[in-house]
Amino acid sequence: DTEVTQTPKHLVMGMTNKKSLKCEQHMGHRAMYWYKQKAKKPPELMFVYSYEKLSINESVPSRFSPECPNSSLLNLHLHALQPEDSALYLCASSQGGSNTIYFGEGSWLTVV
Amino acid sequence: QQQVKQSPQSLIVQKGGISIINCAYENTAFDYFPWYQQFPGKGPALLIAIRPDVSEKKEGRFTISFNKSAKQFSLHIMDSQPGDSATYFCAARLPLSYNNNDMRFGAGTRLTVKP
């Protein structure tokens, strides 16, 4: 079982709603990631936090806002999303000095 | 910005057969090549990984073959089982010394193992 925990597993939201996805890891990893995955496609990198600082933002629209409250937690705040934003959102983590990235089970997001 | 090309897109294998998935990369700076297995409704799970200084790595029924000069690597699943039916992604990662050392994924291969 993955040690990266994501909540909620499923989320349905309207285009005017504000919601958040949450991620937690207790492996002591210092890098955390958000990926977006559409059906039958590979994961696409959205954000990277390294030592709780945002180090990579892959030109993601501002309606997605990441937050890293501490080294174990990662949030993705969602506001004014579009139906095309419906996807599986994956959180991942890796240890400094290691290449291995571990994924959570993902949060299925549907925007109506 | 596809830097890793994966084939085939889908693969059907009989139980007990060998499944082979191929990947090719462009950037010679990549120094870590993992394979992920993803079941429907689940996140990708690391299956096996290799570094370019090794030509082959085997873990159970899963083997990675790596050809540095050809910039290609492949996953072999021996004695394929119906439970292996999943989507497989190859990936490549830049060294940690790079500022942008995120993972670049192949397009994925949907494997079906028929009983």
**What are B45-99's pLDDT values in tens digits?**
999 999 999 999 999 999 999 999 999 999 999 999 999 999 999 999 887 666 6
Does residue B92 or residue A99 have the better pLDDT? B92
Q: What is the mean pLDDT of residues A84-100?
A: 87
A59 near B CB under 8 A: no
HSE, side-chain direction, 13 A CA sphere, residue B22: 7
Residues of chain A positioned with their CB less than 8 A from the CB of B89: 42-43
CA–CA separation, B50 vs B75, rounded Å?
A: 11
Residues of chain B positioned with their CB less than 8 A from the CB of A55: 99
Smallest Cβ distance to B43: which of A48, A55, A104? A104
Q: Is the pLDDT of residue A97 over 80?
A: no
Nearest chain B alpha carbon to A37: B43
Three-point CA angle B91, B96, A91, nearest 5°: 55
Residues of chain A positioned with their CB less than 8 A from the CB of B93: 99, 101
Model pLDDT, residue B41: 87
Asked if omega into A8 is within 30° of 0 (cis), the reply is yes
Q: Is the pLDDT of residue A1 over 70?
A: no
Q: Is the pLDDT of residue A99 over 90?
A: no
Q: Is the pLDDT of residue B1 over 70?
A: no
pLDDT single digits (tens) A41-83: 999 999 989 888 888 777 899 999 999 999 899 999 999 999 9
Q: Do B96 and A40 touch (CB under 8 A)?
A: no
Contact criterion met (CB below 8 Å) for B106 and B6:
yes
